[in-house]
Amino acid sequence: MSILPAKESPCYPPRENNIAVPYIDGVLAMEHIFNAILKAQSSVWLTMCYAKIHYKIPPFNKSIINIISEVSRKENLDFRILAWRSKAIGDDFEGTKEDFRKLKNLDCKAKIRWDSNKLGCHHQKIFVVDNKIAFVGGINMSEDFIDCSAHDRKKPHPTHDLFCEVRGPAVMDVIHNFVQRWNGATEKNKKYGSFPQDNRPGNLSDYPQQPTHEKEGDIKIQVTRTIPQGAYEDEYLKKGEYSIRESYLNAIKSAQKYIYLENQYFFDKESHHSVIRELIYAAYREVKIFIILPGNPDFTKLFSREFLREVKNHPNIYVYTLATSYEDNRKGKVIYSYNDIYVHAKIFIVDDEWYSIGSANISYQSLRTDSEMNVAVWDPNGAKKLRQDLWKEHLEYSDTNRIQYNQEVIIDNRIEKAFEQWWLFARANRYNRKTEARAENRLLPLNINKYTSFKKGFGYIKGIYEKSKKRLSGMFGSLIEKVREHT
């Protein structure tokens, strides 16, 4: 099998001689990322989306804003942040007067620009340290998204996600993207659009046209993106870039044995070119398809339900979710309660040969209107290990829990057997959940009915309403303040 790289004209080519290291779940990923940031010698460049800057990153017991401020004060270190000005629920770093006050009080020396996207979200999550290490993934820097692989069984919002560390020539493409966004940031000349406000940071010099890094390993990596038309000022991207979508389609069309994906969303534009339609075509070719989605979806579930109905009855496609069970004595007897794990991951693995990790959901927005970044990795050893590590976590396989069926579906390369066993595991756990018994592992069949309920949708709408009231109040407050300044 040979999975073709994305090849549309604006996209980066695949680069040889890299190292790729996936990190499963937020605590492990952030430990590696912030260790690298704390050890930085020359530069730290990062993008923020849905960040909670006062959250203390484990295991450092320091808030994000304190770590940024501390590292930014290092002599001769260039610290830059691109933050999405989202005006959305879940973000507390939007470039307000209060944000600037906090940054000044902490003597923060970072250069910061805020950026907006008129079509959608700047959803990229990337870090580049010392011009040689890049981290690309989908984990938001906030408490709700940074979780450990154990997924504390009683934690209110356990969340599953991934990041990937990259070293080698592919890092230069991550740098190139940062420079493009930095120089074209939409808010840079607006009040509170750049920090420091009194000495706004200027544009970066021309980015390198060719990779200059020495060989780091033997892995081929392609940095793929979604850049909607008009989101970047760069003339090269005037028509946008959609290489993430192309890489997904190429991988699906090339699949021979299996496709394994975890994603937060599952909806696309209805056409014969859609990612979901190609998955169905692959299933008709006898490719086994494992899909893991959130069992507790947000309001966008209303977009997913028709697509889920289309795939759920296909004999070669099974759709699952994840949950942990824990002993609960609240009824005066030993019963087991269940806690859904929110699947925020964006992972695609094909035939133990290729994988993609990044920020892009299987959704119309991520594939067409939001700015996104993934890394597509050609690495048979790494792809197989990543699949096995994910399955060990979901099936709760360990040195002390090596029962035979787990051995067969994780360690042995028996996809047919795994496909059958996953179906049995999930349905057994569905019965266990119904009878308040302990789950054998974390797999459960996805309950399609949860994707047709409006309850959470109304909750989300109510949240938008409450925040809108607060923003409206803030707008009037700002207006009064401006009048006072001129009287």
- State the DSSP H helix or E strand holding residue 484, giving kind and residue range, or none if neither: helix 455-485
Mean pLDDT value of segment 71-98: 86
Q: Which amino acid belongs to residue 371? A: S
Indicate the pairing of strand 78-84 with strand 162-167.
Answer: unpaired
Indicate the CATH number for domain 15-451.
Answer: 3.30.870.10
pLDDT one-digit tens code per residue, 35-58: 999 999 999 999 998 889 999 998
Report d(CA 146, CA 30) in Å as an integer: 8
- Is pLDDT of 483 > 60? no
Report d(CA 386, CA 352) in Å as an integer: 9
Residue 136: the pLDDT is 98
Cα of 153 vs its chain's centroid, Å: 22
> Bigger pLDDT: 306 or 71?
71
pLDDT band at 479 (very low <50, low <70, confident <90, very high): very low
Q: Which two tokens stand for residue 368?
A: 């067409």
Report d(CA 248, CA 355) in Å as an integer: 10
Residue 349: the pLDDT is 98
- State the DSSP H helix or E strand holding residue 52, giving kind and residue range, or none if neither: none
Residue of 30, 178, 189 whose CA lies nearest to 95: 189
Report d(CA 259, CA 156) in Å as an integer: 31
Residue 322: the pLDDT is 97
Range with the poorest average pLDDT among 248-257, 283-292, 294-303? 294-303
SS3 311: helix
Average pLDDT, the chain: 87
Q: Which amino acid belongs to residue 138? A: G
SS3 118: coil
Q: Which two tokens stand for residue 247?
A: 């890489």
Report helix angle 64-72 to 97-105, nearest 10.
60
Q: What pTM does this model have?
A: 0.90
Q: Which residues contact 144 (CB under 8 A, 6 or more apart)?
A: 90, 157, 159
Q: Which two tokens stand for residue 158?
A: 């356990």
- State the DSSP H helix or E strand holding residue 469, giving kind and residue range, or none if neither: helix 455-485
DSSP conformational letter for 214: P
Q: Give me the residue spans of the domains in the chain.
A: 15-451, 454-487
Residue 471: the pLDDT is 45
